[in-house]
Structure 1
């Protein structure tokens, strides 16, 4: 195999669900997807217990559950499927990882919250926040690198960018500002952790993604 061919196969592919399964290396990719999604929920719960601010979408989730008798994890699942409905006019195609993301992250978050208490000291709370943000970056790299498709919120971002012609950075910033503002109006939890997450998650995921991207067994390089 040439170096160019190996590099192409290691790039992130945009495949449909059947093609994702036919791309091989399932013994590596499926466990990696599962670990990434579970870790994503764990990292979300760690930031909640740190009580120093949440990721932008979780500001919305935390505000929503102040008015509706459901758990944070259930709100994550609910909003995931609401966002997936927005994929329809954008003509985004969900993958196996998209649906798994919509279900597993919220369940994992609720399970972790049931086991993890909020510490009293500032040192422990800051540690929970920092470890949670770093773990979220790793979780993002793991589930995306497994090559089973984007999560609901990531797909909304890429779909809007494709349909509007705007940059991914601008679309992501606009979406996150919008959900934070809506979350604040609902009484969601905003804090220093929200700023830390916004600044750190992109660089962390970009750093870790090459380590976690699985080379696919394709008959030809993905377009």
Structure 2
């Protein structure tokens, strides 16, 4: 019974993380105020190589899946692989509903609200997925590998990665704006905060979660 509950919990959290992340991607891009850093890169790939957003995201995700498997495979398992496969399709599916809203033509207030919601979606998605056994997303798996090697906190290494994604995305022609700057500054900090909150809740309720080497959650 316990094992079945654990499996169901992993499946539910993996699917939930994927859906939330896809919503965040679409809200950011369709708001037209600049994508988050990964989406700047994905959007740039989408425009530069004339492929769909989902296909571009899959290319990015599978590239980091290989890197994560090579350097930090202890955090890579079926949930991570399932996420890598599902995320591109989920983005294309969600975008069918968000694109017709023409968010880029809405008022600035609505557009900036979409950016903030999108940013929250990313932090929540990443934070949830970091606690799923062998379910850490590929970028975070690489970042946590570097955290162990350099002793630099996740939130700061994540910010460095965001700057790199930002620069490459601009080169490929990705859309940037207020949302992009917000993402560079706050993705790492917000994700770290949400992750710690989720860990505290799971500890309090006695729910199993994946422990990350070296993490310190009071």
Give the TM-score of the pair, scaled to structure 2: 0.79
Q: Distance in 1 between matches of 2:117 and 2:71?
A: 35
Instruction: Tell me which residue corresponds to 2:71.
Output: 90
Higher Cα Rg, which structure: 1
| Counterpart contact for 2:158–2:188, Cα < 8 Å | no
| Counterpart contact for 2:48–2:173, Cα < 8 Å | no
- Distance change in 2, residues 1:115/1:162 (3 Å): same
Counting only pairs closer than 5 Å after superposition, residues 201-212 of structure 1 correspond to structure 2 as: 201-212=187-198
Report the RMSD for the aligned CA atoms in angstroms.
2.8
Superposition deviation, residue 88 in structure 1 = 4.8
Superposition deviation, residue 99 in structure 1 = 0.9
Deviations 1:79-115 (A, max 9, x none): 1111122235425341222212212222211111111
Counting only pairs closer than 5 Å after superposition, residues 95-114 of structure 1 correspond to structure 2 as: 95-114=77-96
Give the TM-score of the pair, scaled to structure 1: 0.77
Superposition deviation, residue 207 in structure 1 = 3.6
* Structure number having the greater helix percentage: 2
Deviations 1:153-184 (A, max 9, x none): 11121223334x25144533332222211111
Q: Which consecutive unaligned segments of at least 5 residues does structure 1 have?
A: 1-20
Q: Distance in 1 between matches of 2:186 and 2:175?
A: 18
Q: 1:216 aligns with which of 208, 214, 218?
A: 208
Counting only pairs closer than 5 Å after superposition, residues 13-162 of structure 1 correspond to structure 2 as: 25-93=6-74, 94-117=76-99, 118-119=102-103, 120-121=105-106, 122-162=108-148
Higher relative contact order (CA 8 A, sep 6+): 1
Q: Distance in 1 between matches of 2:50 and 2:142?
A: 27
Q: Which consecutive unaligned segments of at least 5 residues does structure 2 have?
A: 214-218
Q: Distance in 2 between matches of 1:208 and 1:170?
A: 15
Q: Distance in 2 between matches of 1:217 and 1:59?
A: 31
- Distance change in 2, residues 1:149/1:189 (3 Å): same
